[in-house]
Structure 1
Amino acid sequence: MLTCRVGQAQPLINVGCMQSGKMEKEKVVVVMGATGAGKSRLSVDLATCFPAEIINSDKIQAYEGLDIVTNKISKEEQRGVPHHILGTQNPDTDFTALDFRDMSLWAVDAITGRRRLPIIVGGSNSYLEALIDDDDDYAFRSRYEFCCLWVDVAMPVLRRHVADRVEQMLGNGMVEEVRPFFSPHGDYSNGVRRAIGVPEFHRYFRREGLVDEQTRLSLLQRSVSEIKANTCQLAVKQLAKIRRLRNVKRWHIHRLDATPVFANPRHHPNHSWNHHVAHPAAIIVARFLYNSFSSHLRFTPPVMPPATCYT
Structure 2
Amino acid sequence: MSISVAMSRITEPQINSASPSSGRKFNLPRQKEKVVVVMGATGTGKSRLSIDLATLFAAEIINSDKMQVYQGLDIVTNKITKEEQRGVPHHLLATHNPNSEFTATDFCESASLAIQSIRSRDQLPIIVGGSNSYIEALIDDDDYKFRSRYDLCCLWVDVSMPVLHTYVGERVDEMLENGMVNEVRAFFNPKGDYSRGIRKAIGVPEFDEYFRKEWLIGDEERRERLVREAVRQVKENTCKLARRQLGKIQRLRNVKRWKIHRIDATPVFRKRGEEADEAWKKMVADPSAMIVAKFLYNFSTPNVGGGGLRLSSSALQSAIATVTC
For residues 129 and 9 of structure 1, the distance between their equivalents in structure 2, rounded to whole angstroms, comes to 29
Cross-structure match for 2:316: none
Quick check: 1:297 aligned with 2:311?
yes
Quick check: 1:123 aligned with 2:121?
no
For residues 39 and 67 of structure 1, the distance between their equivalents in structure 2, rounded to whole angstroms, comes to 16
- Rg larger for: 2
* Residue 22 of structure 1: how far off its partner (Å): 7.2
Match among 218, 222, 231 for residue 215 of structure 1:
222
Quick check: 1:163 aligned with 2:177?
no
Quick check: 1:80 aligned with 2:87?
yes
For residues 293 and 143 of structure 1, the distance between their equivalents in structure 2, rounded to whole angstroms, comes to 24
Quick check: 1:91 aligned with 2:98?
yes
Cross-structure match for 1:150: 156
For residues 119 and 44 of structure 1, the distance between their equivalents in structure 2, rounded to whole angstroms, comes to 9
* Residue 10 of structure 1: how far off its partner (Å): 1.5
Residues 64 and 89 in structure 1, CA contact (< 8 A), matched pair in contact too: yes
Residues 4 and 297 in structure 1, CA contact (< 8 A), matched pair in contact too: no
For residues 178 and 293 of structure 1, the distance between their equivalents in structure 2, rounded to whole angstroms, comes to 49
For residues 28 and 55 of structure 2, the distance between their equivalents in structure 1, rounded to whole angstroms, comes to 32
Query: What stretches of structure 2 of length at least 5 have no aligned partner?
Result: 18-25, 303-309, 313-325
1:91-137 residue CA offsets vs partner (Å, 9 max, x unmatched): 0000000000000000001111101100000000000011000133x
Q: 1:214 to 1:46 in 2, by over 3 A?
A: same
* Residue 180 of structure 1: how far off its partner (Å): 1.8
Q: 1:182 to 1:289 in 2, by over 3 A?
A: same
Map 1:122-271 onto structure 2 (within 5 A): 122-136=129-143, 138-185=144-191, 187-211=193-217, 212-266=219-273, 268-271=275-278
Greater shift after overlay, 83-92 or 6-15?
Answer: 6-15
1:61-102 residue CA offsets vs partner (Å, 9 max, x unmatched): 000000000000000000000000000011000000000000
* Residue 267 of structure 1: how far off its partner (Å): 5.5
Q: CA RMSD in A?
A: 2.1
For residues 34 and 22 of structure 1, the distance between their equivalents in structure 2, rounded to whole angstroms, comes to 34
For residues 169 and 8 of structure 2, the distance between their equivalents in structure 1, rounded to whole angstroms, comes to 37
Matching residue's letter, 2:276: P
Quick check: 1:67 aligned with 2:74?
yes
Cross-structure match for 1:307: none
Matching residue's letter, 2:43: G
Higher relative contact order (CA 8 A, sep 6+): 1
* Residue 48 of structure 1: how far off its partner (Å): 1.2
Q: After TM superposition, which residue ranges in structure 1, 4 or more long, deviate above 6 angstroms?
A: 19-22
Residues 8 and 48 in structure 1, CA contact (< 8 A), matched pair in contact too: no
For residues 97 and 64 of structure 2, the distance between their equivalents in structure 1, rounded to whole angstroms, comes to 16
Structure 2 length-normalised TM: 0.87
Structure 1 length-normalised TM: 0.90
Quick check: 1:112 aligned with 2:131?
no
1:127-165 residue CA offsets vs partner (Å, 9 max, x unmatched): 0011000133x4211110110000000000000000000
Indicate the SS of the match to 1:120.
strand
For residues 110 and 129 of structure 1, the distance between their equivalents in structure 2, rounded to whole angstroms, comes to 21
Cross-structure match for 2:305: none
Greater shift after overlay, 262-271 or 78-87?
Answer: 262-271
Greater shift after overlay, 260-269 or 77-86?
Answer: 260-269
* Residue 7 of structure 1: how far off its partner (Å): 4.7
Query: What stretches of structure 1 of length at least 5 have no aligned partner?
Result: 299-311
For residues 273 and 11 of structure 2, the distance between their equivalents in structure 1, rounded to whole angstroms, comes to 35
Quick check: 1:287 aligned with 2:301?
no
Count residues in correspondence: 296
* Residue 8 of structure 1: how far off its partner (Å): 3.5
**Identity of paired residues, percent?**
61
Indicate the SS of the match to 1:214.
helix
Quick check: 1:8 aligned with 2:8?
yes
Cross-structure match for 2:315: none
Residues 257 and 277 in structure 1, CA contact (< 8 A), matched pair in contact too: yes
For residues 2 and 186 of structure 1, the distance between their equivalents in structure 2, rounded to whole angstroms, comes to 51
